[in-house]
Structure 1
C-alpha cells in the first residue's frame, strides 16, 4: 500500500543498524537487540520536551537469561 506523508518529517540520525522505511513493507526484523536502563523521562525524544519528575528509581535486576533471540534474522 503506498504511503502519503503530509507534513514535515524530522529524522535527526540513523545509525548503521537503524531502519527508515516509507512505503510498502511486509516484515521488518531486527538484526540486533540491546537493553538499556534509564530513569523517568530519560528515554523521551522530541523537538520540544518538558518532563517534571520528583522521584525516580530504576530497577536493573534482570533474572532471565535470554530476552530477544534474533539468531534467525541474520
Structure 2
C-alpha cells in the first residue's frame, strides 16, 4: 500500500545503513571491514587485568581484495 510521507530530515546514514521511505520488496545493505589488533585486544567483561609487556601486530596480506562487495 503506498504511503504518503511529509517532510523528512536525514541527519546521518552510516556506511552500512539503509535509508528508505515507502514500500519495499527487499533491502540488502553491504559493507566490508578489515581489523588488525595486538595482544590483549577486544577484551570484554568486568575486572579484567591484562599484562602485555611487548605487543606487535605484524600484517602481511598478499591479497589485493579480501571481501569483494559487488552487485546490488
TM (norm. structure 1) is: 0.44
TM (norm. structure 2) is: 0.45
Q: Which has the higher contact order (CA 8 A, sep 6+)?
A: 1
Give the structure with the higher percent helix. Answer: 1
Flag the structure with larger Rg.
2
